Each structure stands twice: as C-alpha cells, then as structure tokens.
Amino acid sequence: MTKYVSKPIDELGFVAWSSEEDQIWHDLVVRQLDLVKARACKEYLRGLDLLDLPLDRVPQLPEINRVLQRETGWQVEPVPALIDFDRFFALLADRKFPVATFLRSREEFDYLQEPDFFHEIFGHCAMLTNPKFAEFTRIYGKLGSEADAKQRVYLARLYWFTVEFGLLEQNGQTKIYGGGILSSPGETLYALDDERPLRQSFDLDTVLRTPYRIDIMQPTYFVLDDIDQLYQLRSDDLTEYVNRAMNAGLLPPLFEPKDKTHA
C-alpha cells in the first residue's frame, strides 16, 4: 500500500504545490540535469528542451499538455498514487500518460519505489514528445487492453526493459531513454558507467522472458540499435511473441530472490 496520496486538481487542472515541494522539485531537477546531459539520448534531450520545465517551481499539468498535444497528440492524466492495469493500459491506448500528483518527501529524496510526479514528468514526458516513441507506447497500451492477465505479466517486462530501463546506441555510444533510469541519479550512473550490469542487444523473445525486480539496480539492460527499432515493434505481432514467451517460460533470474518480485 502506498503512503502517498495524490494532490487534488482544481477546475483548471492545477495542483496547489507547496513552497517545500517547489524546493524539492528544484533540487531533484538540478541534480539530475547535470547527469543526463551527457548520458541521455538526443530524443530525450530534445524533449526536455521542448518541455522547458521550470526550475523554481513544480510544473503544472496544462503546461506539459500544451507541449505533448502539439508534438504527438498525447497528454498527461492525473491519477491516484496507484491504478490498476485496466486503467493503465486504457489510458496509454488513448494517448494519455498517467501521472500521480504527489512529490516524494525530503526523507525519500534519493529513492522511492513508487512513481512520483518527478519520475513521471522528468523521466517520461520528454520521450513522449517523440512521435515514434509515443506511437509505440500507444500500441503497447492497446495490446495490453486486449490481453489477458497472464499475457499482461509478460507484457510488463517489455515496458520495464524499454520505457522504464531502456538503452540505445547513438553515434557509437550507449545512451539512455528509459524514464526509470533518467529519473534516478544512482541508476543513471550505474546503467552506463558501472562494469557490473549486462548490456545486451535488444531481442524481444529474451526481453519477454527476463525476470526483474523493482527494488534493486538492474542486473541487465537491453540496448536498441536506435529508436526506430522500438517503433517497428508496433507492426510486429506482439501477441504471438508473448504467447511464445509464455510457452518457453522464464529465464533464470540474475538476482537473489525476494518476496516482492515479478513472476
């Protein structure tokens, strides 16, 4: 259960952020900007420029929506701290990205397991200004809406290893596009600079069969040749890949078991 509660939205779509939350936002963004400038992919950095996020205050949803709607027809949708898979997939299929309107506390400044406003806006919205990435995300939502419970478990891995923790090659260098990395200072450094994780070429069959845990640095990252490779997945028969992965079963995990893992 979450200890955070999303803040209410007024009739204009605005949140009454506090001065303390404005300062937390400032500190989070300034710290992360220094890390991502040399490590994020060009599509993400271009999206950050388009969003032009304020530093002195938490941005408002209508500000984000103006940019997303203009660039790709997307918008952000305020949600409670936790939503079920039915709503999550339905929102993505409708070009709406769910955003919980709470910001982490100072006590959990460095890390929290729940996706907060900083994670969703700073980590994810810049990539949603890219038409190819945005279309992949829409198709993913549509597929998830039509999938059964078992298929969704496998689909979750595709989202995890792309939208959340994806890497790609760009001009001979490995860059980050996954929002889970780009909103985490520790993982931004770990994903590219550390020798411990495996960095594998993206293979859809392998991705769908790879277990993950949400509470550790990732032992494996999958690297796209470029963002076009992700875009091309929209035209593949992803359901067939999912069913094939279900029949093959999971690969051995590269981490110690814990109670809260994804099957």
135 among annotated binding-site residues? no
164 among annotated binding-site residues? yes
- Name the band, by pLDDT with cuts 50, 70 and 90, for residue 1: low
Active site residue 183: yes
The active-site residue out of 119, 145, 184, 187 is 119
Can you give the pLDDT at residue 81?
79
Across 218-237, average pLDDT:
93
Q: What ranges do the domains of the chain cover?
A: 19-248
Active site residue 262: no
262 among annotated binding-site residues? no
Is the pLDDT assigned to residue 111 strictly greater than 90?
Answer: no
Across 140-146, average pLDDT:
96
The active-site residue out of 6, 43, 120, 124 is 124
The tens digit of pLDDT for each residue in 167-215 reads: 999 999 999 999 999 999 999 999 999 999 999 999 999 999 999 999 9
CATH of region 19-248: 1.10.800.10
Active site residue 119: yes
Q: What percent of the chain has pLDDT over 70?
A: 97
pTM of the model: 0.94
Cα diameter, the chain: 52
Q: How far apart are CA 212 and CA 33, in angstroms?
A: 27
Is the pLDDT assigned to residue 140 strictly greater than 90?
Answer: yes
Q: How far apart are CA 166 and CA 37, in angstroms?
A: 17
